[in-house]
Structures are given as C-alpha cells and as structure tokens.
Amino acid sequence: MAETGEEVSAEEVSAEASGFSDLSDSEFLEYLDLEDTQESSASLSKPGPSSELPGKDDKLISLPKWKRRLDVSSPMERFHLKYLYVTDLSTQDWCEQQMVYGKELPGFLAPEKAAVLDTGASIHLARELEVHDLVTIPITTKEDAWAVKFLNILSMIPILQSQGHIREFPVFGEVEGVLLVGVIDELRYTAKGELELAELKTRRRPMLPLEAQKKKDRFQVSLYKYIFDAMVQGKVTSASLIHHTKICPDKPLGPSVLRQARQGGFSVKSLGDLMELVFLSLTLSDLPLIDILKIEYIHQETTTVLGTEIVDFEEQEVKSKVQHYMAYWMGHREPQGIDVEEAWKCRTCSYADICEWRKGGGMPSSILEPQAKKVK
C-alpha cells in the first residue's frame, strides 16, 4: 500500500485524511447562490438534451442503464462502502438523486464548484490553525489512519475540559445498522457551562441561504449531536466499529504513529490499545451531552459574519429522517428526487441533463438506473 501522510500536532491529529473527513461547507451543493433562482423557474418534466456529461479534458461521461430488477445488491454494496459520512445524509436531505449521481460519478465536479470548496476549506483550515499547529506523519495502513483519529479524540477531550474549546472533533457511531462518521467543526463551553456545537458555513455571496439550504444544515448539525451524545453515553462500541470498518485491532501500529502516541503520553502498541483508551476516555471524562446547536454563516471573500442560527434538536424527527434515508442505502427502496415544488434546485445541479427523475417529471424509473462509466 502506498504511503500517505496525515497532518498532526502535539495537541491534535488532523481528521482530514484517509476517508474520515466530512464535507461541511455550505457551498457544496449550490456554488451559485440560490437567491438568484426563483423557486418556480424550472420544470422537472423538461428532459435534458443529453445522457452524457462532460468530464475531465472534455471527455464525455456516459450513463448506460440496466434493469434494477437484475441488481440485487444494496447501494452500500454497489458503491463498496463500509460507512457513510454525515454529509451523505444531509445531501440526501437536499436531493437524494443528486447524492446518488455524486457516488456514481466520482471525481466529477465543475471547476467553479471545486474553487468554492477550496475557498471554504481554506477558511476552515485557518480557523483550525488558530487552535494548534499541524505537522505530517506518514501512515501505511487503515489501522494507522484510524489510530490517528483516536489520537485526535484522546488529545482533544482534556483540552476541551480544561480550556473549553476545540475544533475538528471526529465522531462516529452506528445508526440504523450503518456506521456514520463525521467531523464537528467546533465544540466549546459557554459562560453558563453549556456545551455548544458551532458549525461554520461559508457563502460565495454576502447573503444568507434559502430555507431549503438551512434545513439541510440543521439536519447535519442535529446528526452530529445525535452521534456525539451516543459516544459519550457509551452507546458506541468497539465491536460495532470493527464490524463495519473491517479494521484489525491486534495489528501493530506503524512507527510514525507509535512515535506520535508516545509524544502524547500514550503507551500503546496496537489499534486495539488505542480503541480501549478512547472508549474509556469518552465515558469517564464527564463529557456532557451537547446543549446548543449553532450554525454560523460567513462570507467567503470578507469572512464577515452574515448571520447565526440556533437549531432546536428534534430527536424523533432526526430518527425518522435517518430511517428513511438509510432505507435507500440498505436497498429497501429506490432513490428519490425532489418534489415538483422544489424544481428550482435543478438550476444549479451538475447532473440535471442526465437526471432520470427530472426526465420522468418527478417520477422514478421503476426498472432503470444510471451507472457511471467514464469514456476513455
């Protein structure tokens, strides 16, 4: 396996690399601000001109179809996924069909959207660097990658309890039979001693998003709370994590990871040693449940705060949505697009021209499903 590097520091190990990072920028779905889009200005029933999309170097990405009845695998199996990101589910909340196309067309992203994401990521990194410095350590196995995440958690918990403020906290937990992972932007204690989760969302233009975007963002932070609370309550187990990720707890850690662990004061040899420390630390450190959910919207160019929103956590609503979205991933139903009333979302969707849901006037094709294949 090729050696890769992860950014780490004595205080925190970055959660960005090795498949554990979680997209958190609000511009991921709509790099063109939807304030310029009228909600009734697009029609779901209008077919696109082509079933192909331009890929890199102007090569076309075609979407041959096959009958769903011949495909008995679930999306988790078809996409070879061991776990999902929180942002997978929040993207489903925006448009499930768009999320599916994103999985079927890996690597396809319009240059404008990529630039917006890069800017958002830079702002997140700048805020992270306000708290700690980053260095890079090499890793060679998935066990090393997870060990880095565990070192993150072990180092950040005492910092949160003593200094009252941390950023980029990894979370993970089994939800409806699927492992869900993510990274919380910021955790901090208020003057009243309440634990607050703060999520940063950057905007391309100096305007707050539409209600549909805010709804997606509220669901995202609610999922973070749902998973974090389960972690500190001891509801997340090492057995579940091993089952889903197929990691080997007895595998010795690489020398660079071991050296980082020693610098942090942890005497461990294997991933299993770290896992035991993490779960003990989560449950025995007097970490409270998250009390406040806050979303902060800022302008990318000026970093001016555009507004903040306090989110009410509705546990039953979150559970209901999760059950509905997981039903797709487990293969119990076909993907669904947006309702006709939300056809305006198609205006900024990269997949509008090949969208089967849109071509069908808002009705799914019962026997056909697109699958991505890049034409070489």
pLDDT of 125 above 60: no
Digit-coded pLDDT (tens) for 65-99: 433 444 568 999 999 999 999 999 999 999 999 99
pLDDT of 142 above 90: yes
pLDDT band at 107 (very low <50, low <70, confident <90, very high): low
Q: Are 374 and 83 in contact (CB under 8 A)?
A: no
| Closest C-alpha among 294, 286, 282 to residue 218 | 294
One-character DSSP codes across 187-249: EEE-TTS-EEEEEEEEESSSSPPPHHHHHHHHHHHHHHHHHHHHHHTT---HHHHHHHH---T
| Closest C-alpha among 98, 109, 118, 117 to residue 26 | 117
Poorest-pLDDT segment among 98-107, 118-127, 173-182, 196-205? 118-127
Domain 73-358 has CATH 3.90.320.10: yes
- Taking the C-alpha atoms of residue 219 and residue 226, their distance in angstroms, rounded to an integer, is 10
- Taking the C-alpha atoms of residue 30 and residue 252, their distance in angstroms, rounded to an integer, is 43
Q: How many C-beta atoms lie closer than 10 Å to residue 1's C-beta? A: 8
Digit-coded pLDDT (tens) for 12-68: 433 333 334 444 433 333 332 333 333 333 333 333 334 444 454 545 444 434 334
- Taking the C-alpha atoms of residue 200 and residue 104, their distance in angstroms, rounded to an integer, is 28
pTM of the model: 0.77
Q: Are 163 and 38 in contact (CB under 8 A)?
A: no
Domain-wise residue ranges, the chain: 73-358
Identify the pLDDT of residue 105.
Answer: 86
Identify the pLDDT of residue 135.
Answer: 60
- Taking the C-alpha atoms of residue 103 and residue 100, their distance in angstroms, rounded to an integer, is 5
Digit-coded pLDDT (tens) for 309-344: 999 999 999 999 999 999 999 999 999 999 988 989
pLDDT band at 131 (very low <50, low <70, confident <90, very high): low
pLDDT of 9 above 50: no
- Taking the C-alpha atoms of residue 156 and residue 181, their distance in angstroms, rounded to an integer, is 17
Look over the chain and give the mean of its residue pLDDT values, rounded to a whole number.
Answer: 78
